[in-house]
Amino acid sequence: MMDTLAAKYRSHFPILGTSCYLISNSLGAMPREVESELQEYTKIWQTEGVESWHTWFPFVDEVSGLVASLIGADAKDVTLIHNLTIGSALIASCLDFSGKRNKVVYSDLHFPTISYLWQGWRKYGAIPHVIESDGIWTETEKYIEAIDENTKLVALSHVYFRSGGLQDIKPIIEHAHKMGALVMVDSYQAAGVVPIDVKALDCDILATGVLKWLCGGPGAAFMYVRPDLQEQFLPAIRGWLGDKEPFEFHMPSVTFEHGMHRFLTSSIQVPCLHTARPALRMFNEIGIDAIREKSLQLTDRLIAKADEHGFAINSPREASRRGGALTIDPVAQASSLRARAGSPRHATKDICDELIRRRFIVDYRPPLGIRIAPHFYNALDEIDAVIQEMRRILDGN
């Protein structure tokens, strides 16, 4: 069963011809246009040598602009960063944690890298406050209770990486602002599959990598900062490309460029901009609303099929709380989830390994189960097929 999106775009992704690729929350499929993009990169470098920088510097803004239009931002308010961890460190390095307002709030469902960073920032006075979730979802109320007048920053995970749960971040941002706190949103698992409008959300900072749902390959991430905050932010992590006149090589101190380029720090990941461009163009052409509509059809189908077989769904079921992926455990029941948290290796992992051996590309995240992340290029039949294959493996076939 091939809908129009899959019919039109599948042929751009060669891996779909050789596998049932259901892992776009980990590494999106590579568009075939990436090959010619990389040839373009080597051609520019080979023929223009050092003059390539005249092409490469404006290229940062071009690709940042493609990300900006996918998150409702103006192009000038988004720029390239190395990854979300470094983006968070850049922001952390703008903030003063020496006073009473030093609390950093995030959920225990956040991707660990954020926790590692903020725990490390204790050295500079930050006091991480980790909200305890139920393992799948974090109630908005828990954020509201945790964010108080001592909160400096809330690090929100837009879609949780393990369960695929989509957090309604607007009321949390509103409350944080009432309390005088900033909010940094990690949209890694949302961008490319869930519509984002940074202006409507009144986001202070939002960052995402492009390797997952945005099918842009590893190595590049992008960050939005609210225009009125940009000039206030003076990152202590700073480099020569953040200077107003980088080729004047001023000593000893930086004079920050106006706007987002102050966050550029140092040498930029040019090949990664090339790998990111084809899919970003494609997403702009399709529009995220159409992708979301298709994604909900795919996950609706996944829920229905998993239910038919009695497999546990360790993700929120409501459409409004679902990102693009669902985590399914064909072995255990959801109720025993917490009890199993301490013994991550079990038969579900073996089923996942066997699925991969049979070219159903998914992954395993203990204690929740097997993450299945279909994207706009997948056909509904592939959902039926992966669930059917789980059944076969369980039945010893």
Contacts with ligand PLP by CB under 6 A lie at 83-85, 111, 113, 157, 161, 186, 188-189, 209, 221
Nearer of residues 161 and 364 to ligand PLP, judged by Cβ: 161
Q: From the DSSP assignment, how many helices (H) and strands (E) are in the chain?
A: 14, 13
Residue 25: DSSP 8-state: T
- Cβ 287 to ligand PLP, closest distance in Å? 23
Nearer of residues 67 and 387 to ligand PLP, judged by Cβ: 67
Provide the CA 275 distance to its chain's centre, in angstroms.
17
Q: Which residue is nearest to ligand PLP (CB)?
A: 83
- Cβ 112 to ligand PLP, closest distance in Å? 9
- Cβ 110 to ligand PLP, closest distance in Å? 7
Radius of gyration, alpha carbons of the chain: 22
DSSP bridge pairs for 131: 107
- Cβ 111 to ligand PLP, closest distance in Å? 3
- Cβ 211 to ligand PLP, closest distance in Å? 7
- Cβ 161 to ligand PLP, closest distance in Å? 4
Nearer of residues 219 and 246 to ligand PLP, judged by Cβ: 219
Nearer of residues 188 and 311 to ligand PLP, judged by Cβ: 188
Q: Which amino acid is at 24?
A: S
d(CA 225, CA 342): 39
Residue 160: DSSP 8-state: -
At residue 146, the 3 state secondary structure works out as helix
Cβ atoms of 182 and 204 closer than 8 Å: yes
Nearer of residues 213 and 360 to ligand PLP, judged by Cβ: 213
The β-bridge relationship of strands 360-361 and 221-225 is unpaired
Cβ atoms of 202 and 154 closer than 8 Å: no
Nearer of residues 28 and 209 to ligand PLP, judged by Cβ: 209
- Cβ 208 to ligand PLP, closest distance in Å? 8
> Which token pair is 198?
């940074």
Helices in 93-226 by DSSP H: which ranges?
Answer: 112-120, 140-146, 170-178, 198-201
Name 161's Cβ contacts closer than 8 Å, sequence gap at least 6.
25, 109, 111, 188, 189, 365
Nearer of residues 201 and 379 to ligand PLP, judged by Cβ: 201
d(CA 77, CA 60): 12
